[in-house]
Chains A and B, each alone.
Chain A
Amino acid sequence: MKTDQGNSESATVRLTIDGQRVEVPDGSVVLQAAEKIGIKIPRLCYHPDLSLEGACRVCIVEVEGIDFYVASCSVPVREGMVVATNSPAIRRARRDIVELLLDNHPRDCQTCERDGNCELQNLAYAMGVRERLFEGRRKNPTADESGSAVVRHPEKCILCGRCVRVCSEIQGVFNLSQHYRGFNTVVGPAELGPMDESVCIQCGQCINVCPTAAFLEKNNTEAVWAALADPEVHVVVQTAPSIRAAIGEGFGLPVGTPATGKMITALRRLGFDAVFDTNLGADLTIVEEAHELVRRLEGGGPLPLLTSCSPGWINFLEKFYPELIEHASTCKSPMSMLSTLVREYYAPRHKIDPKRIFSVAVMPCVAKKYEAARPEHLAPDGRPYTDAVLTTRELIWMIQCYGIDFSRLPNDLFDRPLGLSSGAGDIFGTTGGVTEAALRTAAEMVGGETVGRIEFLSVRGVEGLKEAPVRLGDKELLVAVANGLNNAKRALEAAAAGRRRYHLVEVMACPGGCIGGGGQPYPPRGTKILDPEILQRRAAALYQIDDNKQLRRSHDNPAVKELYADFLGRPGGEVSHRLLHTEYRAREPRGIR
């Protein structure tokens, strides 16, 4: 059952909550009605974008005429209902419930990755749990740290089921389930096996929605600290577009504050020898992908073209829709393009022994850790082109650890030439951005008019799937933009069934695109993860950066022009094909759609 307030029926229901009258659409639940009048009933397993679980019982309230407490997240409103959300007895019961949740939870807050960012910790404090009276049996399920991107610590799990729901309802992956029963229940992939051997597509949304630290990204900071401390190593870093739009949140800046300049200064202070911009990789991706699109429109390959920059999506394609692999753009992701150029172009030009280079990428993405380790992205010497991937969260922590006062830092600029980028590269971080960027360049290639901001229309009833007709030269194209893999599924099924003749389908695995990636900062206390408003503000920051740039189109970027003139030859040519493109294959276990 979905609990969207977007109820099409106009019928409303009037009820009284804590003495205040409120009118809400029929079909709402008590918890939502209370929100409308400024009462935020404590909750844990509830999430407005996910189905109801009713598992944690934290949101209990009293309803007149019912002689037991009810969970306000799952009780529909009724005309004339009288609800009390507060009384000494309710508060005490809530506190006991949270205390019992803690009973089976490790007492290791100070050494836990989520210390200070933990919903359970915050809730326990808010409910007034000041001592732990119960000392019961503990379960000790086995942790799985084998994953290249996602690690699992089930001893911290409180069985709220949010990860199970996000994995199935938003991502359509169904990799997580509850195993065993009662006290022995454990959440994990099939067979509780290793994450990398499951159908996991490594998007990391389970990490985002987990209220504790039961899911985390693989920590790669140790390797980066070690490289930074070694004077023999030339440490290069690149940052994805979405980092600048979100990193400030880690230091108390308002959500949506662009922080490019401060971020670069912080990276230099951490000791990185060169600070490059993944946006340049994005610009190259655009030039190559636009070339691919134009070639396919001229009859040189299957349509629709599927974008390839989101590694979670690529994993999904290989596991769930392998028969559509040849539709995917062969372009490497912007990260992998830039890492390749660091080794193959930057190092020789600057007479640096490639063996001495350590290439770090800061990504909003957990799946990028998995991508970096793929055999397709190894250099000829067998080392990965990208040596370490850090999430936005990991970088925030490194900056804190180093004692850098981020909010007071001066601004700095990226290093040339791999740090110069167009605004088209910036908007790569948000859903629809890749399409817009690609069409800006494709329009030039076919000699047509410049494509402006595309007004996408939501496909009926689906927030995360949009489409738009676009004029490109003398052709009318239909493009689709999906974020969240369930929405990608919808687009692919529509295309496969012949209901839609798309020419280009952009897919980003995470809700909102990279700005909502699995490696982005946990939301500030009191806000919820995947909040559309947070995502919109981060996206607005990227569009603002784009609007303020002189350079708006990838192919106008002088660094891109120089790269093609000096090194790569032409888009889709022999050198760029060898260095900037990749290939995909069906992978097992095969996902169940």
Chain B
Amino acid sequence: MNRSSTDNWPAVREASRKALPPAVLDFIEECREREHPKSALIAVLHRVQDECGHLGRDQLNAVAQLLQVPTARVYGAATFYHFFRLRPRGRFLISVCLGTACYVKGADQVNRRLMEELGVGLGETTADGLFSLETTRCLGTCGLAPVIMINDNVHGPLKPDDIPGLLERYIQRARKEEAGGKT
């Protein structure tokens, strides 16, 4: 049969390759050489999130094309697992511990105050892209209950009224880093 110039595959492939970092492209290539490349979908999504921080629309579509897994299925997998993030995460990820000890010590009030101060719900990110809010189970620092983690730092024990000051420290830090980056 004639395969004519109406074929858009080269263009689609090129656009897909542009949407993904080289490390992910290499990994997809590696998967394609193995048996059952489609079963590598979740592993590929992990790589994308590692490299890009989240799974964006362009990245998911690109994975679908390059791995030849239907796009609807790629989205099905990406939305099924809590681990995958479809939106960019904030610069500071706040994880509120809702383990038993923290909960008994008032984590819920801390959590509510965080939502109030930030103006976002759980799983959301502030409009300025600074903070994302999530909950987590026991962080293993029950002696400090109630605790939250902001990126890799543990803060506790906390009272709701500590929240504004704590957030302010991170905002100042971000400002300083930005100013530093500019000079």
Question: B residues within 8 A CB of A181?
Answer: 79-80
A191 interface residue per 8 A CB criterion = yes
Mask of A165-199 contacts with B, CB within 8 angstroms, 1/0: 00010000011111111000000111110000011
> Which residues of A137-187 are within 8 A (CB) of B?
168, 174-181
Contact of A592 among B60, B64, B79 (CB under 8 A): B64
A327 touches B2 (CB 8 A): yes
Given known contacts A323-B6, A323-B7, A323-B9, A190 and B79 CB-to-CB distance under 8 angstroms: no
B76 interface residue per 8 A CB criterion = yes
Question: B residues within 8 A CB of A191?
Answer: 57, 60, 71, 75
A90 to B170, CA, bound (A): 61
B154 interface residue per 8 A CB criterion = no
Question: A residues within 8 A CB of B52?
Answer: none
A592 touches B70 (CB 8 A): yes
Contact of B73 among A177, A192, A324, A584 (CB under 8 A): A177
B1 touches A324 (CB 8 A): yes
Question: A residues within 8 A CB of B60?
Answer: 190-191
A589 touches B61 (CB 8 A): yes
Question: A residues within 8 A CB of B153?
Answer: none
A592 touches B1 (CB 8 A): no
Question: B residues within 8 A CB of A584?
Answer: 6
Question: A residues within 8 A CB of B70?
Answer: 168, 174-175, 177, 190, 199, 591-592
Question: B residues within 8 A CB of A192?
Answer: 75
A589 touches B4 (CB 8 A): no
B8 touches A588 (CB 8 A): yes
Most buried by B among A175, A322, A593: A322
Contact of B2 among A175, A326, A586, A593 (CB under 8 A): A326
Question: B residues within 8 A CB of A176?
Answer: 72
A199 to B74, CA, bound (A): 14
Question: B residues within 8 A CB of A177?
Answer: 70, 72-73, 75-76
Contact of A199 among B3, B6, B12, B71 (CB under 8 A): B71
B109 interface residue per 8 A CB criterion = no
A302 interface residue per 8 A CB criterion = yes
Question: B residues within 8 A CB of A55?
Answer: none
B1 touches A304 (CB 8 A): yes
B69 interface residue per 8 A CB criterion = yes
Mask of B1-30 contacts with A, CB within 8 angstroms, 1/0: 111101111001000000000000000000
A180 to B75, CA, bound (A): 9
A210 to B73, CA, bound (A): 20
Most buried by A among B60, B61, B71: B71
Question: B residues within 8 A CB of A585?
Answer: 6
A168 to B6, CA, bound (A): 25
- State the interface size on chain A (CB cutoff 8 A): 36
Question: B residues within 8 A CB of A168?
Answer: 70
Question: B residues within 8 A CB of A591?
Answer: 70
A82 interface residue per 8 A CB criterion = no
**Minimum C-beta distance from A239 to chain B (A):** 33
A326 touches B75 (CB 8 A): no
Closest B residue to A586 by CB, please name it.
B8
Contact of A190 among B9, B12, B72 (CB under 8 A): B72
Given known contacts A174-B72, A588-B8, A323 and B80 CB-to-CB distance under 8 angstroms: no
B68 interface residue per 8 A CB criterion = yes
Range for the number of chain B residues in contact with chain A: 20 to 34
**Minimum C-beta distance from B19 to chain A (A):** 13
Given known contacts A323-B7, A588-B12, A592-B65, A175 and B80 CB-to-CB distance under 8 angstroms: no
A590 interface residue per 8 A CB criterion = yes
A325 interface residue per 8 A CB criterion = yes
A591 to B69, CA, bound (A): 10
A475 to B8, CA, bound (A): 35
Question: A residues within 8 A CB of B75?
Answer: 177, 179, 190-192
B79 touches A495 (CB 8 A): no
A125 to B3, CA, bound (A): 55
A496 interface residue per 8 A CB criterion = yes
A326 touches B72 (CB 8 A): no
A325 touches B76 (CB 8 A): no
Question: B residues within 8 A CB of A590?
Answer: 8-9, 12, 65
**Minimum C-beta distance from A447 to chain B (A):** 28
Contact of B74 among A190, A322, A326, A495 (CB under 8 A): A190
Question: B residues within 8 A CB of A178?
Answer: 76, 80
Given known contacts A190-B75, A589-B61, A496 and B1 CB-to-CB distance under 8 angstroms: yes
Question: B residues within 8 A CB of A175?
Answer: 70, 72
**Minimum C-beta distance from B36 to chain A (A):** 15
Mask of B28-44 contacts with A, CB within 8 angstroms, 1/0: 00000000000000000
A475 to B33, CA, bound (A): 44
A174 touches B73 (CB 8 A): yes
Given known contacts A181-B80, A590-B65, A592-B64, A325 and B72 CB-to-CB distance under 8 angstroms: no
> Which residues of A76-92 are within 8 A (CB) of B?
none
A543 to B7, CA, bound (A): 39
29 A-B residue pairings within 8 Å (CB atoms): A179-B76, A188-B72, A190-B61, A190-B71, A190-B75, A191-B60, A191-B75, A192-B75, A198-B72, A199-B70, A199-B71, A322-B6, A322-B9, A323-B3, A323-B9, A324-B2, A324-B3, A325-B6, A326-B6, A492-B1, A585-B6, A586-B6, A586-B7, A586-B8, A589-B61, A590-B8, A592-B64, A592-B68, A593-B68
A-B contacts besides A323-B3, A592-B64, 8 pairs, CB < 8 Å: A191-B57, A192-B75, A304-B1, A322-B6, A322-B7, A325-B6, A326-B2, A584-B6
4 smallest A-B Cβ distances: which pairs? A174-B70, A323-B7, A177-B72, A177-B76
